[in-house]
Structure 1
């Protein structure tokens, strides 16, 4: 009985993998950081590349885990500052995918780990002799100003073209606060979050 149970569990695990379509993908990120109080935000173009597999569950429904190198960030601007933040992430989306003919929709969570970050532009660089903030143009590492973990929800649509090529678009909406700056002279808003629009092309290999 125990052997039959083990065989049954293994078959459930192996069958989806046997029907999986492995693939590679890459495309454009148009990213923004939701602004702190007193600062306006704007989008900046970045990119993402990665690999995935699509494993069929039943009928038109499949699951698609991915691993991506993805760059996010954006521009933050106030009366005294105007600078870009560039955040390099390793992201792992795990998406449910519904395919109807050539069209598919996908949604699920995404987990991200910050690899590095940098900032460049006009920002606070220190204090004057009388204790007032001093501003200047600078490019500097900023990994310590952001939390290492990011959790997002992902939703998107796409189109399967002839052969193994597909095109798609997604919205990646960050849910948690990623701001970890310790001293920002009163502009430390606890709701600094990622928001990324992705447009991508994907190539899949294997039979479904």
Structure 2
């Protein structure tokens, strides 16, 4: 998976270099994450956040189809409660989504793959008597993660946008665990210069 990540990164930079226009921006937001799959029984939603930079590249003057690459910090994870024992796991990722966006009027529809690199984690287990233990080792967890994103956003003429995303996992959070990351995200974004605003020709 590491080689796929590096190949995707190189391909993205090559495509951006060939673009007619590339606009830099920033993105931040709030999400609810958990684990899905056959090994995720009892996992509950954990609030978290994401923040980072974006590049949006257009290949024609209309900018109806654009490629958006992002470099994000994302805090994912899940929590669980079983027989009075509460567990809370926070996974810290650097993530690289590469998304194809369809833009019409102020609407942006987007989808594409996402690759992540686990940089840290913290698991806190709290017992009924109030005592707890902290675990910070990443041993046994998958360092590289593959996933996907689908979403929609509204973009104002000034460059400010807001939207919703579903972020699903493809690879297991830990090898052979059957658990995959999942997050539902709400976000704000801003482009530092404007792309052409594609408009519908319906009715003309």
Q: Normalising by the residue count of structure 2, what TM-score does the alignment of the two structures yield?
A: 0.79
Task: Check 1:15–1:179 CA distance in 2 against 1; reply closer, same or farther (3 A cut).
Answer: closer
| Aligned counterparts of 1:89 and 1:68: Cα–Cα separation in 2 | 8
Q: Which residue of 2 aligns with 1:151?
A: 146
Q: Which residue of 2 aligns with 1:169?
A: 164
Q: How far apart are residue 207 of structure 1 and its match? A: 3.9
Q: How far apart are residue 43 of structure 1 and its match? A: 0.5
Q: Counterparts of 1:64-79 in structure 2 under 5 Å?
A: 64-79=68-83
Q: How far apart are residue 167 of structure 1 and its match? A: 0.5
Task: Check 1:207–1:15 CA distance in 2 against 1; reply closer, same or farther (3 A cut).
Answer: farther
Q: Which residue of 2 aligns with 1:30?
A: 32
Q: Counterparts of 1:55-204 in structure 2 under 5 Å?
A: 55-58=57-60, 59=62, 60-79=64-83, 81-122=85-126, 137-180=132-175, 190-204=177-191
| Aligned counterparts of 1:86 and 1:79: Cα–Cα separation in 2 | 21
Answer yes or no: is the 8 Å Cα contact 1:24–1:204 preserved in 2.
yes
Answer yes or no: is the 8 Å Cα contact 1:21–1:204 preserved in 2.
yes
| Aligned counterparts of 1:70 and 1:13: Cα–Cα separation in 2 | 23
Paired residue secondary structure (1:199)? strand
Task: Check 1:41–1:202 CA distance in 2 against 1; reply closer, same or farther (3 A cut).
Answer: same
Answer yes or no: is the 8 Å Cα contact 1:20–1:207 preserved in 2.
no
Q: How far apart are residue 142 of structure 1 and its match? A: 3.5
Bigger CA radius of gyration = 1
Answer yes or no: is the 8 Å Cα contact 2:39–2:179 preserved in 1.
no
Q: Which residue of 1 aligns with 2:5?
A: none
Cα deviation per residue 1:174-196 (whole Å; 9 max; x = unaligned)? 1111225xxxxxxxx72111001
Cα deviation per residue 1:78-121 (whole Å; 9 max; x = unaligned)? 33642010000000000000011001100000000000001012
Structure 1 spans left out of the alignment, 5+ residues: 1-11, 124-135, 181-188
Structure 2 spans left out of the alignment, 5+ residues: 1-14, 196-204
